[in-house]
A and B are shown apart, each in its own frame.
Chain A
Amino acid sequence: MTSEEIVEKLKAGLAGAIQDSDFPQGDAVIFVAPKSLHLVAEFLKNDPDLKFDYLSDVRGVDYLLEEREPRFESVYQLYSIDHQHSIRVRVGIDEDNPSVPTVSDLWKGALYPEQELFDMFGIHVEGHPTMERLIMPKDWEGYPLRKDYPLTTETVAFSHNRDFKSELIKSKPPTR
């Protein structure tokens, strides 16, 4: 199916759940609210014409600098192995009490990237079996990939380098 056909089919099947759709460079992209994510995911996986049985990745994005509402987004990339088509599902997540339902009951492959979503962005994934730190140490404070988390350096005892630290401790990159 082409990108347009996939989105049309989705809109026919789930009229209220799809907020918006887009076709950047020909890819199919749909926008979904967190509360209807699980419903949409089930439809995507179980519908025989769509049959998105392969979850490629889940990523978080922080739109703080663009001042966009809602601030966070989790993006799901799905493929159908049989039909050889793909779709991207974008879910906007509010800044206060950020949370999103899990899809790891449908695709087991989502377990790790969803845990990373919590680790790096502090987005709570409801229904996920292990909501704890994955890559960062267990006692780490803060969420490193949020835009308000500063890029810092570790203090070293001795260095030949010039003092980069004062330049680096800024939340905005120097080239902007």
Chain B
Amino acid sequence: MSVTEQGLLQRDKDTMTLNMGPQHPSTHGVFRIILEMDGEVVKTAEPEIGYLHTGIEKTSENKRYVHVIPMTDRLDYLNPPGNNLAFCLSTEKLLGVEIPTRANVLRVIMCELSRIASHLVWLGTHALDIGAMTVFLYCWREREMVLDLNEEISGVRMMTSYIRIGGVAKDATRPWLDGIRNFIDYFPEKVDEYERLLTKNPIWLDRTQGVGALSREEAINWSLSGPALRASGVNWDIRKSQPYSGYENYDFEVPVQNNGDIFDRYRVRVEEMRQSRAIIKQALENLPGGDFKAPDNKVSLPPRETLHTSMEALIHHFKLVSEGISVPVGETYVPIEGARGEVGFYIVSDGTNVPARVKLRAPSFMAIPGMCKMMEGCYIADVVGIIGSIDIVMGEVDR
């Protein structure tokens, strides 16, 4: 029963306005909320965003398609391969390029690894916000392994830019594949360890169960997406409903819970880490041979060694580097399931090598009004938990 229903919110006057942020550690970035408080109870929460605005959408309209990819890394900086993939899929749809199977499988491995890493950051910081210190250290330990794998394949630990238009940047290396095999053997035990610390912990249950609940209809109407939507009982995963990159070939379950509170969002994300691990395992078992990027010289660079022998390859290389890819006139949108929900780039092309409009559909941005709705009628101590449970990343909110 919410505080409002219990009749605790009787008085209309005597409220206090409380400023939270933008420099508050639990806002995971620079996010400000102005809370109107009646004693300990939140009456209204008014968000204020824009502190991290860098104009990435405007900058994208002045850069070539290939040059936009490194900027997409910086939007949702906990799940860079997801953003790369969303941008590349939209561009490839306009170009009409066929992606080789091996490239698709490598993309799936990369995206699922990054989903695990992103959920680990979420679990660690969310638990830390509520007061569980140990989980934070454990999560960072496993995330470090994923970052090492990123470094092995792309040379960068976080902003990988590994997924490119037409395929991926580099073929899989043996140390990388061995590292992933080690990781997926080691990881399930660690997820059980986090669950042992939290799932039946009475303090954790008191702070999370029944807090910040949103019903199925409300969650849909407020455009929540990803784990927050699935915790409210909506079986909606874009990997299942609009499969991309060959997700229809993998056998995995979509975890759904029904109460829509902080605890259910926690359950959904923890189970998603296990499912992601299952997807990576299947991808490694069925990793096909072949090209790692589309053999279309108008889209992806020709192999380095052919430059010495083939005039054709040299010309294509020169044209691609100096002019970039020219995309046919049109507009398109391809959604993918990122770590925090539906990510997609709406791209308008005017036929040149520079996009005319790039718009990111950011799950954190869309979730903020719904998040403030959850806060109404809860205690001030739970505000921190609710922000954590939505898993916002301010980079993609302010863009």
Kindly state the separation between the CA atoms of A53 and B224 in the bound complex, as whole angstroms: 12
In the assembled complex, B29 has its CB within 8 A of some CB on chain A: no
Closest residue of chain A to B235, judged by CB? A81
**Cβ contact within 8 Å between A59 and B359:** yes
Kindly state the separation between the CA atoms of A136 and B333 in the bound complex, as whole angstroms: 26
In the assembled complex, B7 has its CB within 8 A of some CB on chain A: no
Closest residue of chain B to A116, judged by CB? B365
Smallest CB separation, B66 vs chain A (Å): 12
Kindly state the separation between the CA atoms of A86 and B332 in the bound complex, as whole angstroms: 13
Smallest CB separation, A51 vs chain B (Å): 11
Interface residues on A, range: 35 or more
**Cβ contact within 8 Å between A108 and B370:** yes
In the assembled complex, A157 has its CB within 8 A of some CB on chain B: no
**Cβ contact within 8 Å between B50 and A108:** no
Cβ–Cβ < 8 Å partners of A107 in chain B: 221, 223
Interface code B42-69, partner A: CB below 8 Å = 1, 0 otherwise?
0000000110010101110111100000
Smallest CB separation, A156 vs chain B (Å): 16
Residues of B within 8 A of A (CB): 49-50, 53, 55, 57-59, 61-64, 93-94, 96, 220-225, 234, 236, 241-242, 323-324, 330-333, 335, 342, 344, 346, 348, 350, 352-354, 356-357, 359, 361, 365-366, 368-370, 373, 398-399
Closest residue of chain A to B224, judged by CB? A109
Cβ–Cβ < 8 Å partners of A24 in chain B: 330-332
Kindly state the separation between the CA atoms of A111 and B330 in the bound complex, as whole angstroms: 27
Closest residue of chain B to A61, judged by CB? B357
**Cβ contact within 8 Å between B369 and A111:** yes
Cβ–Cβ < 8 Å partners of B335 in chain A: 56
Kindly state the separation between the CA atoms of A39 and B12 in the bound complex, as whole angstroms: 38
**Cβ contact within 8 Å between A135 and B50:** yes
**Cβ contact within 8 Å between B58 and A25:** no
Cβ–Cβ < 8 Å partners of B359 in chain A: 57, 59
Please judge, given known A-B contacts A53-B220, A56-B223, A108-B369, whether A88 and B241 are in contact too, CB under 8 Å.
Answer: no
Smallest CB separation, B305 vs chain A (Å): 29
Smallest CB separation, A99 vs chain B (Å): 20
**Cβ contact within 8 Å between B346 and A112:** no
Smallest CB separation, A123 vs chain B (Å): 14
Residues of A within 8 A of B (CB): 24-25, 27, 53-57, 59, 61-63, 65-66, 75, 77, 81, 84, 86, 88, 107-113, 133-137, 144-145, 149, 151, 173-176
Cβ–Cβ < 8 Å partners of B62 in chain A: 151, 173-174
Additional 5 contacts, C-beta under 8 A, given A84-B242, A144-B55: A24-B330, A25-B332, A56-B344, A77-B346, A81-B236
**Cβ contact within 8 Å between B348 and A109:** no
Please judge, given known A-B contacts A57-B361, A134-B49, A151-B58, whether A173 and B223 are in contact too, CB under 8 Å.
Answer: no
Kindly state the separation between the CA atoms of A108 and B62 in the bound complex, as whole angstroms: 33
Kindly state the separation between the CA atoms of A88 and B330 in the bound complex, as whole angstroms: 14
Please judge, given known A-B contacts A25-B93, A56-B361, whether A109 and B370 are in contact too, CB under 8 Å.
Answer: yes
Closest residue of chain B to A106, judged by CB? B221
Please judge, given known A-B contacts A137-B50, A173-B354, A175-B353, whether A112 and B241 are in contact too, CB under 8 Å.
Answer: no
**Nearest 4 Cβ contacts at the A-B interface:** A109-B223, A135-B50, A173-B62, A59-B359
**Cβ contact within 8 Å between B49 and A55:** no
Cβ–Cβ < 8 Å partners of A81 in chain B: 220, 234, 236
Smallest CB separation, A105 vs chain B (Å): 11
Smallest CB separation, A83 vs chain B (Å): 10
**Cβ contact within 8 Å between B366 and A113:** yes
Cβ–Cβ < 8 Å partners of A149 in chain B: 58
Contact of A134 among B50, B241, B356, B373 (CB under 8 A): B50
Cβ–Cβ < 8 Å partners of B344 in chain A: 56-57
Kindly state the separation between the CA atoms of A111 and B323 in the bound complex, as whole angstroms: 40
Kindly state the separation between the CA atoms of A66 and B96 in the bound complex, as whole angstroms: 23
Cβ–Cβ < 8 Å partners of B57 in chain A: 145
Cβ–Cβ < 8 Å partners of B373 in chain A: 108
**Cβ contact within 8 Å between A112 and B50:** no
**Cβ contact within 8 Å between A61 and B348:** yes
Report 25 cross-chain contacts, Cβ distance below 8 Å, ordered by A residue.
A24-B331, A25-B94, A25-B330, A54-B223, A56-B223, A59-B357, A61-B331, A62-B357, A65-B350, A77-B346, A77-B361, A86-B242, A109-B221, A109-B222, A109-B370, A112-B365, A133-B50, A135-B50, A135-B53, A135-B398, A145-B57, A145-B58, A151-B62, A173-B354, A175-B323
**Cβ contact within 8 Å between A77 and B59:** no
Kindly state the separation between the CA atoms of A176 and B349 in the bound complex, as whole angstroms: 13
Closest residue of chain B to A109, judged by CB? B223
Cβ–Cβ < 8 Å partners of B59 in chain A: 151
Closest residue of chain A to B59, judged by CB? A151
Cβ–Cβ < 8 Å partners of B49 in chain A: 134-135
Cβ–Cβ < 8 Å partners of A84 in chain B: 241-242
Cβ–Cβ < 8 Å partners of B222 in chain A: 108-109
**Cβ contact within 8 Å between A136 and B50:** yes
Kindly state the separation between the CA atoms of A154 and B164 in the bound complex, as whole angstroms: 31
**Cβ contact within 8 Å between A112 and B366:** yes
